[in-house]
Amino acid sequence: MEDKVLVDIYVPASGKQYDVRIPLISSIGDVIKTIARMITDMSDGTFTASDDTILCFRDTGTILNINISVYSAGITNGTKLMLI
C-alpha cells in the first residue's frame, strides 16, 4: 500500500481545482486543516478556511467524517473531492 494518494480537490468559492497528495493514515480532520490552510494561502482571498470547513466527495456530496482516516474513507488515487 502506498503511503499517499493523489486527489483532485475542487473549491467552489474560487472555482479552482487543486491536485493534492494526502497521507492515507491521516485523519480527514487533519487533512481538512492542512488543505484548507494551503488553499487559503493560494486563493488570494477567494477561499477562507473556518471551523465549519468540510470535505466531501464531489460526485455524491457525501460529507467525510473527520474522525476516520483517508484510507478508511475509501479515498484512492484520482478521487474527486470538494472543499466547502
For the chain, what are the domain ranges? 4-83
- HEC secondary structure over the chain: CCCEEEEEEEECCCCEEEEEEEECCCEHHHHHHHHHHHHHHHCCCCCCCCCCCCEEECCCCCECCCCCECCCCCCCCCCEEEEC
CATH tag, 4-83: 3.10.20.90
Going residue by residue through the chain, which has 84 residues, state the pLDDT in tens, using 9 for 90 and above: 569 999 999 999 889 999 999 999 999 999 999 999 999 888 887 888 888 999 999 999 999 999 999 999 999 999 999 999
Q: pTM of this prediction? A: 0.92
